[in-house]
Amino acid sequence: MERMWGGRRLDSEFGKKLPPNTRIGESWEIVDRLEAQSVVANRPLKGKTLHELWTQNRHDIFGDVPETPRFPLLIKLLDAQERLSLQVHPPEELAAKLGGEPKTEFWYVGAADPGAELFLGFRELITREQFKRALDKGTVEDWVQKIRVKAGEAMFLPGGRLHAVGGGNLLVEIQQNSDTTYRVFDWNRVDATGKARQLHVDQALQCIDFTDVGPHLIEPNGEVLIKHELFEIQKWNLDSSLSNRLAPVRQRRSCPRRILSNSSSVAGSESRASQKSNIAAAGYDPDAVTAVCDRRIIFPNLRRP
């Protein structure tokens, strides 16, 4: 997806074929929304959308999972050549009131330029009125916490957390299936036509948690990066002997919409044998990549010989 803050690293890092002379900021890797769908690339289910799998083959593929109208997660790749707007997503208790969708998310830093930062929460306590005055003066950045990051680090962002992605970051984003964002400050920039992007200050001020001071990066607990009611995320270090078995995944990584991607897999709490059968049907070596828990996202990190 073209974004004014995007770059070209989805081509250089993931082999995606990007349109020429455009700044691409997002790739929706696993998605079940009206405006976009993941589609099975091959084998018996070729051509089926994720929504069709979720509504027609849910138990067979995902196991015993909660009933929801659509697949509950949206997984993206973000290439931030420049910093994104300072923004917030609505928490569960406010989303419907504001006409949006709740969004809690997780970021995994796939790559980061030296000095790359994330903007997360506040440096110190601030009131809504102080924040509004800082917006009017253009000094809101002075109140926001900045954290320098490097590849392999991660952050959890509950709805209500003020945040922005700094330039030079390549992120994997795992989130609730939502596309509601309230921009509160866009660094006074304009697009190629001289037009500023729309802000949503009133909605943002209702959503921001002004007590969210000094949030930290995630401290992994073994393989577990985070265990939350919405998703569990693990990072696995795979033995290099799996290199050949993962080769088909690497060869197909330019496909932008698929159920199982080269960086993650999703499955329900089904039997191991059933999981292997389903993964094989999608064209993968079931011994190389297998997810084993409800809404669990696994990032294999292959150790090279």
In a domain, residue 132? The reply is: yes
For residue 77, give the 3-state DSSP assignment. Answer: strand
DSSP 283: T
- Residue 242 falls in which region: left (phi positive, over 0), alpha (psi -120 to 50) or beta: alpha
Q: What is the DSSP track for 123-158?
A: SS---HHHHHHHHHHT-GGGGEEEEE--TT-EEEE-
In a domain, residue 221? The reply is: no
The vertex-20 CA angle with 19 and 26, nearest 5°, equals: 45
Verify that 119 and 201 share a domain, yes or no: yes
Whole-Å CA distances, 10 to 19, 165, 301: 11, 16, 18
Verify that 171 and 235 share a domain, yes or no: no
Decide if 164 contacts 85 (C-beta within 8 A): yes
* Domain boundary, last residue among 148, 174, 207: 207
Mean pLDDT per segment of 10 residues, for the chain of length 305 residues? 91 90 93 95 91 93 90 96 97 96 97 97 97 95 97 96 97 96 94 91 98 96 91 82 52 32 33 52 48 42 36
Looking up residue 11, the CATH number of its domain turns out to be 2.60.120.10
Verify that 61 and 106 share a domain, yes or no: no
Q: What is the pLDDT of residue 241?
A: 62
Q: How far apart are CA 268 and CA 294, in angstroms?
A: 4
Q: Calculate Rg over the CA atoms of the chain.
A: 20
Verify that 151 and 124 share a domain, yes or no: yes
Q: How far apart are CA 15 and CA 33, in angstroms?
A: 24
Q: What is the pLDDT of residue 65?
A: 87
* Domain boundary, last residue among 138, 173, 207: 207
In a domain, residue 215? The reply is: no
Range of the domain at 62: 38-68+230-305
Whole-Å CA distances, 18 to 32, 192, 256: 22, 20, 10
Verify that 56 and 82 share a domain, yes or no: no
Q: How far is CA 5 from the centre of its chain?
A: 16
Q: How far apart are CA 5 and CA 27, in angstroms?
A: 14
For residue 94, give the 3-state DSSP assignment. Answer: helix
In a domain, residue 223? The reply is: no
Q: What is the pLDDT of residue 242?
A: 58
Verify that 13 and 117 share a domain, yes or no: yes
Question: Which pair of structure tokens corresponds to residue 207?
Answer: 């959503």
Question: Which pair of structure tokens corresponds to residue 168?
Answer: 């030079």
Verify that 150 and 24 share a domain, yes or no: yes
- Residue 8 falls in which region: left (phi positive, over 0), alpha (psi -120 to 50) or beta: alpha
Label residues 58-73 b or e (16+ Cβ within 10 Å = b). beebbbebeeeeebbb
Tally of domains in the chain? 2
Q: What is the pLDDT of residue 305?
A: 31
Q: What is the DSSP track for 10-36?
A: HHHHH---PPTT--E-EEEEE-EETTE
In a domain, residue 214? The reply is: no
Q: How far apart are CA 265 and CA 285, in angstroms?
A: 12
Q: What is the pLDDT of residue 245?
A: 56
User: What residues act catalytically?
Assistant: 183
In a domain, residue 11? The reply is: yes
Verify that 79 and 53 share a domain, yes or no: no
